[in-house]
Chains A and B, each alone.
Chain A
Amino acid sequence: MLVILKNDWKRLMEEKLYLFVSMGLTICAVVAAIVLTSSIETKGNIALILPQNQEISDSVTQFTKSQYFNVSILEMAPSKSELVQNRYDAIVTIDGNGAYSIETIKSDQIKTMIYATLENPNTFVPNMQSSRKIGTNIIGYMMMFLLIQGVLYAKLFADDKEKHLIERVIMSPIAFRKYLFGHAVFMIAMIAIPTFCVMTVAQILGVSIGFSLLTYGLLIGVLAILATSFALFLNSFFCVADTANMLGSSSVLLSTILAGSFYSFAKEESLFDKLIHILPQKDFIDFTNALEKGNLTSTIKLELLYVIGLSVVFFAIAVIKTRRDYIYHQ
């Protein structure tokens, strides 16, 4: 196994440009995740249209100072494309008599909510239950890139298959289990170490990252294990690196978005919501969320176990599949 590790390292050092660029991009992605999450404001954006020299009533003044809304006062109504792009959630127009009208492309629920706020700005409290904290957001943004990284570093294994090196490996006394495990350890290290370093730097620089470094280490470790085993699993089915690569990155992208790692889509308990729990990303993000809010229940711990279990299953399938492909059975 150590031989494999050493060999992998030597092979990557041969392609220094590749190594540096992929490391650089990992670092970029993680930095982007931190920057994005720390600068995101999840207030509602409202455009308030006031004709010039218009007296502002008390409730409207209080409304503009509301801590739940980001109210910008404009003279001209913003164009509709800005509404579509979510720049503003709603446009509130106040005419000469002090009466107001609300225009939004969103659901009626939001309309009634804004009406309620305009009527009595002080008593209005939205339900903030669903919102996530910093740590979960950072993990959510990072997740997709880490999983794609897994597909990226599986290149060494794919190369072995594509260039028929693996047939020579079979002739050597090493067991398949150990051979794949060696690759896996190498990949996990390559994914987790740069990410963790960026986190450490962020911590030292005093950026608020939500969790302690130790927790981050563990979470990143689990993600790296999942990414690695998924990539090996996928590569064991294809002999061409490109096919595995394209299929891998597109399926990672789809499933990660579906799991709501960027923002949570599913709001109410539905059958669909439960089905999504099949995706390990969903379980992982749920676990992170619960961990940050401090309400770990036994079901949520089971979800983490599911993620790890699934990685083990992926790895086992990869071993069995490659063994079946390359060892002659009677």
Chain B
Amino acid sequence: MDVWLPYAWDVVRLGGMLAILLGLAGPLTWAERRQSAMIQDRIGPNRAAIKIGNKEWRAFGLLHPLADVIKLLTKEDTVNIRADRFLYNLAPFISLVPALVTFAVIPFGPDVTINGVAYPLQVARLDAGILYMFAVSSLAVFGVSLAGYASASKLAMMGGLRAAAQMISYEVAMGLSIMGLVLYYGTLEPYAMVRAQGELLFGFLPAWGVFVQPLAFILFFTAATAENKRIPFDLAEGESEIIGYFVEYSGMKFGMFYMAEYIEVIVVAGTLTTLFFGGWQIPYLMDHGFVFPWGGGLDLSHAAVTVLRIGAFMGKLLFFCWFQLMLRWTLPRFRYDQVMSLGWRRLLPISLANLVVTAAVVLWLEA
């Protein structure tokens, strides 16, 4: 049995990742619609129902994502006659795959020890994990720009070009904003970063990224929202003006772009949790139980600590998903020149300054 355990564990961690990404993406579309309805004093989607006996079971509209998928899968797939069919069909895949595989380096729980062997709750523990995240997520721009290009539609082309320009611009600030954290924790490996965030500053404050690098948190969150092309940075879509790069897509090909967007929301939430909010760490919870800085504590078994920590990760993940949805329905859209000037003239210099100051402080602390 012990021989098979590592393979079974691979299934567990891969399945865990896919369950988080695919299992949450559907409910997130529901949450987005339902939450926007609440914000705007509407009722929102609540018609889809399953009839059991004489009773209709509506589940607060939770069946809508299901009904949507069935609709998208069975819808006629129209293709513009002048479109480049090969690139047109390829683009949704190029858009979805980076969103799916970025999560591989995010640890969604602490190592589980079975018979003295540690099994990680992380699909890939790469030495250059954060670089991997940036490398893979930088590929998403191909899906978007190819979709705009291959559609042979002026509005789609506009959307594709806007998206490409915006994603290139904000990638720089996004990468630089993280480097301060990398300097402070001295590692590029997300699991080691989460481990380091279990330390305490001044004996009581958890050494979470947001306390160590508050400016980097704001910079990264802004850049990540722009990278994800959500309001207030939804110039590539601008549903009231150009519809965007997927205007010519129908059926499940559109569905894949839609899915990619929500999976990216989850990935951004996971990244924020991991880098800035201690990942699966709970303040004062050590490997053997709670140890409070004001004295006292509570001993817990390994299993209980593991379950608590996975729960903490999921809770933080859900919070940041919710937070991103709320932002979307709170803020108005930027103008295009404002987006560009924010990216290049504000975020980039500020993140560079943040990096230089952090480097100086780290050097001074080590000296």
Question: A and B bound?
Answer: no
Interface residues of B, Cβ cutoff 8 Å to A: none
